[in-house]
């Protein structure tokens, strides 16, 4: 096939972005040109998310935008939304083909079939081959993301992701180490481990290794770098992971934990397996052991059957815990989930009100975390783009606090120890 111009648009989690980059690399290796979304192209690939109803809407809006931008171009839709609702997406105006998850290696062939005019609208499923070659990341990014697993062993009643991606499948440690070594050779100084159910890494492997074993092996590598963990389930933080998080200088003092609710009753209906008291204890232990430990949390506002008391329990858990910021999701029923069939759905105005209240509480927690920082010397990964408002260099501390500072452009993409005043330069 003659090399074509291809644009990508990606929604959702960090894993989705890694998988888009894997597909881009495959296409580059076959002679295709990857160009920015919005330019004139032969193909647009849209990697979708379906974690919320809003995610579905954003995916459809991107498809519409791609059609308007390139009315002669062909649109291929993939990702979790494409996996679960291929027929719905295939009916949208402008969509040429729908490709399910784990079929990345078939993308070029689907493009060829489309170009020849004999592709099926929903690409037939072949054997899944989600383990791709080691990724050569473009060097204009500040940090590198490493996929350690895909799929999820949890069966939360509100979630479609585990339905789309199936059970947890760990990447072999040899591939993870090879990927890490290549990124370090490329000069990346912050590596972010990512997956859908990251803490389950190793449970499906014959080696009987666990996530703490993987993390320990990575931090023992040579070079100047640090490791940040993306979202991880609280129950997967065993004592070995806890000790690495709080004692090893290479591991960022930052986690993102899905809490979802502070009510035991709601957590039980959600299919969650950690009590609110356990969550509070974990966050406080992290804070006490490391000091100014950045902890984000996901919470869902307005889950079916959530009473005013349940909602107040969530507020109480957020207030009592050592959380430093919140991601708030207004509940939206997802087709095919158990929660969508619960009879006690809440009114949209109630959900909206509770989401707003939780966001306000999250801002209070964020402000308190910023105010707690004394300033002075701190290690920062300098972003490759300056802050648009101030023109200053900007970056994140180990605890995920954004700071602004003066410095040469040569610092971009590097870990630097800088001295700053929190009153003027913390965001």
Contact 374, 422 (CB under 8 A): yes
Residue 415 has φ and ψ, to the nearest 5°, of -80, 125
What does the DSSP 8-state code read for residue 333?
-
pTM: 0.90
* Confidence (pLDDT) at 91: 94
- Nearest-5° angle of CA 182, CA 188, CA 190? 115
Cβ neighbours for 268, distance < 8 A, ≥ 6 positions apart: none
* Confidence (pLDDT) at 422: 64
Q: How far apart are CA 137 and CA 135, in angstroms?
A: 6
* Confidence (pLDDT) at 324: 96
Q: What is the pLDDT of residues 156-194, one digit of tens each?
A: 999 999 999 999 999 999 999 999 999 999 999 999 999
Unique residue bearing structure tokens 């009753």: 265
Residue 426 pLDDT exceeds 90: no
Q: Which of 137-141, 283-287, 393-397 has the lowest mean pLDDT?
A: 137-141
Unique residue bearing structure tokens 């703490």: 212
Contact 411, 393 (CB under 8 A): yes
Helix axes 107-116, 14-29, angle to 10 degrees: 60
Give the pairing of strands 294-301 and 393-397: unpaired
How many CB atoms neighbour CB 313 within 10 A?
Answer: 20
Confidence band for 207, pLDDT divided at 50, 70 and 90:
confident
Mean pLDDT of 287-304: 94
Q: Is 340 exposed, middle or buried (0-12, 13-18, 19+ CB in 10 A)?
A: middle
Reference 283, options 250, 234, 248, 333; nearest CA is 234
* Confidence (pLDDT) at 126: 57
């Amino acid at each position: 096939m003659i090399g074509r111009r291809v644009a990508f648009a990606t929604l959702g989690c960090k894993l989705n972005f890694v998988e888009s980059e894997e597909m881009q690399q495959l296409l580059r290796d076959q002679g295709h040109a990857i160009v920015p979304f919005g330019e004139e192209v032969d193909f647009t690939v849209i990697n979708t998310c379906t974690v919320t109803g809003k995610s579905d809407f954003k995916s459809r809006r991107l498809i519409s935008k791609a059609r308007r931008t390139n009315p002669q171009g062909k649109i291929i839709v993939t990702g979790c939304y494409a996996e679960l609702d291929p027929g719905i997406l295939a009916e949208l105006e402008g969509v040429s083909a729908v490709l399910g998850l784990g079929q990345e290696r078939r993308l070029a062939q689907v493009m060829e079939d489309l170009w020849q005019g004999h592709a099926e609208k929903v690409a037939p499923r072949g054997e899944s081959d989600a383990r791709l070659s080691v990724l050569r990341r473009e060097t204009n990014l500040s940090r590198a993301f490493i996929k350690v697993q895909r799929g999820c062993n949890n069966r939360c009643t509100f979630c479609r992701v585990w339905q789309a991606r199936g059970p947890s499948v760990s990447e072999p440690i040899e591939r993870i180490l090879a990927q890490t070594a290549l990124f370090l050779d490329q000069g990346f100084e912050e590596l972010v481990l990512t997956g859908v159910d990251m803490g389950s890494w190793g449970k499906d492997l014959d080696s009987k290794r666990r996530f703490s074993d993987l993390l320990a092996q990575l931090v023992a590598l040579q070079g100047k770098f640090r490791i940040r963990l993306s979202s991880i389930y609280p129950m997967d933080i065993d004592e070995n992971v806890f000790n690495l998080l709080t004692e090893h200088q290479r591991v960022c003092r930052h986690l993102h934990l899905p809490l979802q609710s502070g009510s035991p009753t709601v957590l039980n209906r959600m299919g969650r397996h950690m009590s609110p008291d356990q969550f509070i204890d974990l966050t406080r232990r992290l804070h006490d052991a490391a000091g100014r430990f950045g902890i984000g949390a996901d919470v869902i506002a307005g889950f079916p059957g959530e009473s005013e008391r349940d909602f107040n329990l969530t507020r109480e858990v957020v207030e009592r815990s050592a959380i430093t910021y919140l991601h708030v999701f207004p509940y939206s029923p997802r087709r095919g989930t158990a929660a969508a069939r619960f009879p006690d759905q809440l009114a949209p105005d109630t959900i909206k009100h509770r989401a707003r209240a939780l966001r306000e509480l999250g801002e209070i927690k964020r402000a308190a975390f910023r105010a707690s920082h004394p300033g002075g010397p701190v290690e920062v990964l300098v972003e490759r783009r300056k802050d648009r408002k101030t023109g200053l260099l900007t970056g994140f501390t180990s605890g995920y606090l954004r700071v602004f500072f003066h410095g040469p452009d040569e610092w971009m993409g590097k870990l630097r120890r800088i001295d700053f005043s929190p009153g003027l330069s913390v965001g």
